Amino acid sequence: MRVDVYVDVLCPWCFIGKRRLDAALAGLDERSCVQTRWRSYELDPHASRIPGATAAEHMAEPDWWGDRAPAKIAHIRSVGAAEALELNLHLARPVNTFDAHRLSHWAAIHGRADAVMERLFLAYHTEGLNIADLRVLERLGVEAGLDATEARAVLASDAYALEVRADERRGYELGVTSVPTLVIGSGTRVSGVQPSAALRRQLQDAVTAIRDSSPGQRERAPQRRSGLTHRR
């Protein structure tokens, strides 16, 4: 069963959601049956690659949270801390994430997408690094287990740009309007951050439903007698 996870690195709730998804998957009875794919979603496709104000400063703007920002930020940090995350919104500076998404797609080819996403989230939300800087992205990719020369070549080109756009188009078709959003199996959509236990139940139910509907399971199921003619 496939689980598509729509995220943007800029979103602190996506980092929290990743931690909870990791915990949910770890407690799943049939973990090997679930394949997670990170899908691209840009919160601000027109954002600059040059860092400006911090996330905390943006949140305090009148058209965002204004005077409520300190309480909202404290809440985000508290929820993150409960997942052993240090969310430094006073250090994180929102930038364009298109190249970070391209890096993630390339990493998926090498089975390192999860490691790259983890490193990107940590770099932005905890360390306050500029994840639009190609040199920073190259270093993060290497730290996540990718080859430095290949990473440099990928980032210097437009490789995987089409894959990022394809994710965004597919997300739009599925009705994804916020992140994090999980699309479980053939289309069950879970929006927002869910408790790990609740997410585990949803995943387990989906795995069980797929298993029970498989041809082998149907063949082993007891046949019900009926006066109606059975037609295939």
Residue closest to 176 by CA, chosen among 64, 39, 45: 39
Residue 25 is predicted with a pLDDT of 96
pTM: 0.90
Strand order in the sheet with 2-7: 35-40, 2-7, 181-184, 188-191
Domain ranges of the chain: 2-210
Residue 14 is predicted with a pLDDT of 99
CATH class of 2-210: alpha beta
Torsion (CA) 13, 43, 104, 118 in degrees, nearest 10: -20
Residue 111 is predicted with a pLDDT of 98
d(CA 126, CA 140): 14
**Sign of the dihedral through C-alpha 100, 19, 125, 184:** positive
d(CA 58, CA 89): 10
Q: Are 133 and 103 in contact (CB under 8 A)?
A: no
Residue 31 is predicted with a pLDDT of 81
Residue closest to 115 by CA, chosen among 11, 36, 182: 36
Residue 32 is predicted with a pLDDT of 83
d(CA 175, CA 43): 15
Percent of the chain with pLDDT over 90: 84
Under-70 pLDDT residues of the chain: 214-232
Q: What is the pLDDT of residues 13-62, one digit of tens each?
A: 999 999 999 999 998 988 888 999 999 999 999 999 999 999 999 999 99
d(CA 119, CA 54): 20
